[in-house]
A and B are shown apart, each in its own frame.
Chain A
């Protein structure tokens, strides 16, 4: 099993350009997440999808949109990239249960995005 995969691994954009980060999981998980990681800030939740067909805002949703295409795939779109969106982006997935290790999140390898 590949687990959680993300594409691309690296990307450089100019201010104002748009792009979509792709994420897919093969663990049949209901829930999927997008985080950004900035130096000294830990991981902050951008958007999440508790189940196919639903999406909700996390802590830092401004400037982003998401699509839960099907149970496997969850994409993150930057419509007009800004330098403040330079970051490492992680996708993750988990079961939606509330108790125990079922809430363990499995992470993709990350996308390093630079906006000039």
Chain B
């Protein structure tokens, strides 16, 4: 079965420094996708970044980058130049492929999350 593991329940980082949030995954599917979402204290889920299993380069979106190491099955999120507004829960998720009615459907499996606190 597919699984996502986030081993850091909570982390602290100083404002303006970079921080890495860990995510490892387990799947036997050769085609998969990895996502990171941010959940601030207000509760909404915000998409940050996506990495496909066949992508040759690591994904980047502004201050967010994904350190994708396929052989190690890890997809760590790197936030550069942390800001106070980055304080939030961060969830790693993997697309799971399930059959449905003769086709396929891609659902997401989420890790338990990492709570990031940015200190001024």
**Partner among B44, B50, B107, B112 whose Cβ is within 8 Å of the Cβ of A101:** B50
Complex CA distance for A110 and B97, rounded to whole angstroms? 25
Cα-based distance from A90 to B46 in the complex (angstroms): 13
- The contact of A98 among B43, B44, B104, B108, by CB within 8 Å, is B104
- Mostly helix, strand, loop or mixed at chain B's interface? strand
Across the interface, B105 reaches (CB within 8 A) one of A90, A96, A105, namely A96
Residues in chain B near residue A97, CB distance under 8 A: 106
CA distance A57 to B51 in the complex (A): 26
Q: Contact: B95 with A103, CB < 8 Å?
A: yes
Q: Count how many chain B residues have C-beta atoms less than 8 Å from C-beta atoms of the other chain.
A: 28
The 9 closest A-B pairs by CB, nearest first: A107-B45, A50-B105, A42-B110, A42-B112, A43-B110, A103-B106, A50-B100, A101-B50, A98-B106
Cβ-defined contact, B45 with A50, below 8 A: no
Instruction: Provide a sorted-by-A list of 16 A–B residue pairs whose CB atoms are within 8 angstroms.
Output: A31-B105, A42-B112, A42-B113, A43-B91, A54-B100, A56-B100, A56-B105, A58-B107, A90-B45, A92-B45, A96-B105, A100-B33, A100-B50, A103-B35, A103-B106, A104-B47
Check A42–B95 contact: CB distance below 8 A. no
Q: How far is the CA of A44 from the CA of B93 in the complex (A)?
A: 11
Partner of B112, one of A40, A50, A58, A110: A40
* Residues of A that sit less than 8 Å from B by CB: 31, 33, 40-45, 48, 50, 54, 56, 58, 88, 90, 92, 94, 96-101, 103-107, 109-110
